[in-house]
Amino acid sequence: DAKTTQPTSMDCAEGRAANLPCNHSTISGNEYVYWYRQIHSQGPQYIIHGLKNNETNEMASLIITEDRKSSTLILPHATLRDTAVYYCIVSRSGGGADGLTFGKGTHLIIQP
């Protein structure tokens, strides 16, 4: 699986949109971009994934650049409960034989 690069930490004001960037310049054509988050001392939670088109669900939006070398996770109206570590992962599948490779992620802190 390709590696990803994320900022170590970010702040965002409550009620504003949180935009979390991720670089994955060596992504292969058959690899998806997955986002998970982990609230302190809990198991990670799936957020969203995409291949090349932008995706949206009830939690977030995922914007993938045309060359697929980077992506942005958008939480449209951040709340204090969104404070967590956010992981950007590239993988051929979410439940693949080799599991998922989690880096250190971005610690997003939502400020009141």
Partner 1 sequence: DGGITQSPKYLFRKEGQNVTLSCEQNLNHDAMYWYRQDPGQGLRLIYYSQIVNDFQKGDIAEGYSVSREKKESFPLTVTSAQKNPTAFYLCASSRARGSDEQFFGPGTRLTVL
Among the listed residues 30, 66, 97, 112, the single contact to partner 1 using CB under 8 A: 97
First and final C-alpha spacing in the chain: 37
Among 18, 49, 83, 108, which residue interacts with partner 1 (rule: CB under 8 A)? 49
> How many CB atoms lie under 10 A from the CB of residue 110?
20
Helices and strands of the chain, counted as H and E runs: 0, 9
DSSP reduced 3-state for 10: strand
- Minimum distance from residue 75 beta carbon to partner 1 (Å): 18
Q: Is residue 46 a contact point for partner 1 (CB under 8 A)?
A: yes
- Whether the CB-CB separation of 49 and 55 falls below 8 Å is answered with yes
The answer to whether residue 24 forms part of the interface with partner 1 (CB under 8 A) is: no
Between CA 90 and CA 31 the distance in angstroms is 6
Rounded Cα–Cα distance for residues 19 and 95 (Å): 26
| By the rule CB under 8 A, 45 interacts with partner 1 | yes
Which residues in the 64-93 window bind partner 1 by CB under 8 A?
A: 87, 93
Residues 4-23 within binding reach of partner 1 (CB under 8 A) = none
Residue of 105, 106, 108, 110 that binds partner 1 (CB under 8 A)? 105
Asked if 98 interacts with partner 1 (CB under 8 A), we say yes
